[in-house]
Amino acid sequence: MTPAGRTGPTLAVVGATGAVGAVMLGLLSSRQDVWGEIRLIASPRSAGRKLVVRGEEVEVVALDEAAFDGVDVAMFDVPDEVSARWAPIAAAKGAVVVDNSAAFRMDPDVPLVVPEVNAAAARIRPRGIIANPNCTTLSMIVAVGALHAEFGLTELVVSSYQAASGAGRPGVDTLRDQLTKVAADPSLGTQPGDVRRAAGDFGPFPAPLALNVVPWAGSLKDDGWTSEELKVRNESRKILGLPGLRVNATCVRVPVVTAHSLTVHARFENEVTVTAAHDLLRAAPGVVVCDDPAEGEFPTPADVVGTDPTWVGRVRRALDDPYALELFLCGDNLRKGAALNTAQIAELVAAELL
């Protein structure tokens, strides 16, 4: 029992001070409380800082082995290399790790879990680690998984419209700084290079993001693909259990603070209709259909930011292919795309422990 009289498994939040960590503390404060002690962990830079979770101030402790003493579940919201080093240490000390980084997602001994799609996979975790998918895949897979269960998915062609916060706090700071700079000159956006010269620091992006779209997210991989595009392919295949699924993604960064959007061309084994797709999506947990074009109703990132579900609109049957659907999806990359999915997985584990 904690000093506040709480019983339940002990939870560690590693990376509590980051962009995902901040959303996680909000979620832990608002979701049904299944936890006993919640321990907040970050780098030594943040040790001693006080953060509020469940209405109480909790002091942040530095990441070291002792920080995992007595911990039942450890969420990791830290850079890949920090997870790669410390998640196995936490697991060796008896904690079940739920990792938000890319360090273990494609490890065959680590399940990659989206509770609405493959919750049972969370129970088979030979390394004591469960991985959380990347935010772009998560923003579409709940809806696509529901359609796959009925129609049998064979191919995805995806374009993403990704928010600045997908690049962490530095991404948001860069976008806001550039927006301030370009707002000062109403003539910008009319001559080649004028925005580039006015925007100043590009931060984590390879081109100005304000007044622009940037066809790049992640790092360069073979044959011109980016790491982010390959994640969409590899992680979709693993979550859906479809190792041969045809997936092609183009990831694009847009000047939105938070909430990723995607256009999806999904092809199936069976013929599809818009009515059947609407019915399936309306019944799917974690999905909201917002699709009345005659009334101008479709999801936009500015309208869905801060909400939990995957929002689906613009559902159309492909004009030349009765087996394919066209969709527009939006989801908050820091909530379902990161912290919420991690919290849901951790709650599955807590239910096992209880």
Ligand X SMILES: NC(=O)c1ccc[n+]([C@@H]2O[C@H](COP(=O)([O-])OP(=O)(O)OC[C@H]3O[C@@H](n4cnc5c(N)ncnc54)[C@H](OP(=O)(O)O)[C@@H]3O)[C@@H](O)[C@H]2O)c1
Interaction between residue 20 and ligand X (CB under 6 A): yes
Strand partners, 56: 53
For the beta carbon of residue 57, count every other beta carbon within 10 angstroms: 8
Sheet containing 129-131: give its strands across.
61-62, 38-42, 11-14, 73-76, 96-99, 129-131
Catalytic residue among 148, 251, 260, 330: 260
Quick one: which of 10, 101, 178, 261 contacts ligand X (CB under 6 A)? Answer: 101
Amino acid identity at 124: I
Q: Is 227 known to sit in a ligand binding site?
A: no
Quick one: which of 79, 88, 200, 255 contacts ligand X (CB under 6 A)? Answer: 79
Least separation, in Å, of the C-beta of 189 and ligand X?
27
Interaction between residue 261 and ligand X (CB under 6 A): no
Catalytic residue among 135, 148, 251, 330: 135
Quick one: which of 42, 71, 96, 330 contacts ligand X (CB under 6 A)? Answer: 42
Least separation, in Å, of the C-beta of 41 and ligand X?
7
Interaction between residue 15 and ligand X (CB under 6 A): yes
Measured distance CA(216)–CA(122) in Å, rounded? 32
Is 158 within 8 Å of 247 (Cβ atoms)? yes
Say how many residues make up the chain: 354
Mark whether 135 is an active-site residue.
yes
Least separation, in Å, of the C-beta of 105 and ligand X?
10
Interaction between residue 135 and ligand X (CB under 6 A): yes
Q: Which residue is nearest to ligand X (CB)?
A: 18
Interaction between residue 90 and ligand X (CB under 6 A): no
Is 250 within 8 Å of 229 (Cβ atoms)? yes
Is 262 within 8 Å of 285 (Cβ atoms)? no
Interaction between residue 21 and ligand X (CB under 6 A): yes
Interaction between residue 36 and ligand X (CB under 6 A): no
Nearer to ligand X, 9 or 15 (CB): 15
Measured distance CA(268)–CA(24) in Å, rounded? 35
Q: Is 105 known to sit in a ligand binding site?
A: yes
Using CB under 6 A as the binding criterion, the count of chain residues that bind ligand X stands at 29
Mark whether 330 is an active-site residue.
no
**The dihedral sign for the CA sequence 59, 60, 62, 67:** positive
Comparing CA positions, the residue from 231, 351, 341, 346 lying closest to residue 286 is 341
Residues annotated as catalytic are: 135, 260
